[in-house]
Structures are given as C-alpha cells and as structure tokens.
Amino acid sequence: MKHSLKSALEVSGIYIVILFMFVIILYPLLWAFSISLNPGTSMFSLKMFPDNWSLEHYKTLFTDPNSDYVLWYKNTLIVATAICVFSVALVSILAYIFSRFRFVGRKNTIYLFLLLQMFPVLMGMVAIYLLLNLVNLLDTFTGLILLYVFGGLPMNVFLVKGYLDTIPRDLDESAKMDGAGYMTIFFRILLPLARPIIAVVALFTFMAPFFDFLTPRIIFRDPENFTLALGLYNLINDKFANNFTLFAAGTMMIAIPIATVFLILQRFLISGLADGATKG
C-alpha cells in the first residue's frame, strides 16, 4: 500500500512539474497571439482574446503592397534551408572522420572545438565583419550562410561525433569483411543509425535564422536582403513605428515552417531509434 501511494505521489509530482512548465511556455504565446488579433496597434490587451478580434494583421502582412513581410519570409527560408543542408552534410562527414579515423592532431583538434565554444560569438563580430568585407561577402546571403554553417560547426561536430562513438565498431568490421568501403559504411550503416542526432542538428540549424537578429544586422544593409528577425524589428524600431499588433502577427507566423520541419524530422528520429534498437 505504501509503495503504491509513493508511486502515485511521484507520478503526480511529475505531472505537476510538466503542467507548470507547459503554462510558463504557453502563457506568453497565447498573449502574443491575442495581441495579433487586436484591431488597433497597441500591444496591451485586457483580455486573453479581445471581443472585436480580427485577422486583418495577418492579411496585411501578405497582401499589403507596402509590406515586405513576404520578401523577409522568402529570404529567411532560403537562408535556413541552405544552412540546414550544408551543415548536415559537412557535420556528418567531419564527425565520421573524427569518430572512426586516427590521425595526427585529431585529439588536439577536438579540444580546439571545445575551446571555441567557450567564447561568445560577440567577441569575434568585428573580425567577422572585416573578413567578410575583405572578401566582398557583406550584404550577401552567401556571407550569412557561411557564417552560420562554420559558426556552428565545432559544437555540431562534437555532438554527432559523440553519438557515432556509441555505435559499435563491430558493424564497421563486419561491413569491411563483406567488401564495403568507407563511404559505403558511412552512407549505408552509420548514417541511418545516426538519424536521431542528424535530425537534431538539422532542426537547430534550420531554426537559427528565424530567431537570430544580431548576425543579420551586422551583415545586411540592403532592406531587400533582410531576414524575418531583422525586418520585424524595424516594424517597432523605426521612427514613428509602433505597430506592435502587426509585429505580433508576424512573429506568430514564424512557427509554421519550424513546426513543419519538426514534424518531418520527427519521423526520422523515431525510425532511427527503432533501427538502432534492432541492429544493436
């Protein structure tokens, strides 16, 4: 009886903690959604959902000829997709090399990757600006994509390498005995088993341009190149600009591509776990 009571209390405590965290996360999102439904421009609302709610702001974002929201959305999707593809490809190959091969300087390079993560990106912003200016990549998507890909490379490589280290090397040896080469082992054995961590890297790299404001602000000057974070900031920062309701509507629309990518990658995450359990 005491054991069942203890188990019930533990389960209840877990659900209470989950509910508390859910409220903390959901509450500001609901208020932001409420603000986006306000007909005016004020960010204050006395009710969670206003009586005279309207979807006019969402319509304005996509139909108003003076609105550049569609352009910002397209720019962000281009940058996010390119970062996701190049990061996953480069990180997977480098992690495979560091995990399965032994070469001079391997351990020191891993330590260097860890060391680079100890310093904030802000420390190198001046040097990054000068470097991009030197190679004529300022105010270009190429410069921003390269900065995101190589900026997140150390941490992502370290994460994927750690995951690959947990996959038994016996699988590699068995494949070699059957005549498989290194690339065959990588693509046919290790990569399918590493789908969970690859999915995590893909999701995080895809999300970065949607939320990052500082990096595009340093690189971009032409409003035609603005990403969502930079463009939405100007809605409430420019002179006489105080359209907080339009800003809230724009931020709510950011969730659509991120949720879509998450749902797609979730399938790979689950299938990768299942394959790992079967082959392990």
Q: Is the pLDDT of residue 270 over 70?
A: no
- The pLDDT score that the predictor gives to residue 57 is 85
Ranking 6-10, 46-50, 179-183 by mean pLDDT, the lowest is 46-50
* Annotated domain spans of the chain: 1-54, 65-279
- The pLDDT score that the predictor gives to residue 26 is 85
pLDDT (average), residues 195-214: 91
How many Å apart are CA 87 and CA 157, to the nearest integer?
A: 10
CATH 1.10.630.10 for domain 65-279, yes or no, is: no
Answer yes or no: are the C-beta atoms of 229 and 156 closer than 8 Å.
no
Q: Is the pLDDT of residue 127 over 80?
A: yes
pLDDT (average), residues 21-38: 84
Q: Is the pLDDT of residue 146 over 80?
A: yes
- The pLDDT score that the predictor gives to residue 63 is 87
pLDDT (average), residues 132-151: 91
Query: pTM of this prediction?
Result: 0.84
Contacts for 147 with CB less than 8 Å, ≥ 6 apart = 128, 132, 215, 219
Q: Is the pLDDT of residue 274 over 80?
A: no
Contacts for 100 with CB less than 8 Å, ≥ 6 apart = 164, 169, 172, 182, 190
Q: Is the pLDDT of residue 280 over 50?
A: no
pLDDT band for position 25 (50/70/90)?
Answer: confident
Residues belonging to the chain: 280
Q: Residue 217: which of 122, 131, 134 has the closest Cα?
A: 122
